[in-house]
Amino acid sequence: MLDVQGQVALQSQVVKAEIKAHPKSFDLLDLHGPVAIEGKIRSPNISIVRSIPIPTPVFGNAKNVDCPGLTAQLLSGE
């Protein structure tokens, strides 16, 4: 579902609007913010308004290990 709010002045040909999407389910590629449209109708400025930080997955929660020691152990056959 899209929620569109804003104004369009036809006499001056200016638009100022904000579009918010309400997704059905979580998607990592969601914008997580409204899209703003401002300026002249023939050449509007379109931008993403970041109201909250975009979540990013955390990779590599491994503990620090002694890599050189483990490599030497692996190569020695122990």
Does the pLDDT value for residue 15 go beyond 60? yes
Residue scoring higher pLDDT (7 or 33): 7
What was the pLDDT predicted at 29? 63
DSSP 69: H
* Average pLDDT score over residue span 57-74: 71
Q: What is the mean pLDDT of the chain?
A: 80
Q: Where are the domains of the chain?
A: 1-53
What was the pLDDT predicted at 5? 94
Does the pLDDT value for residue 62 go beyond 80? no
Contacts with 37 (C-beta within 8 Å, 6 or more apart), sequence order: 6, 15, 16, 17, 18, 19, 44, 45, 46
Alpha-carbon distance 18 to 46, whole Å? 10
Residue scoring higher pLDDT (45 or 70): 45
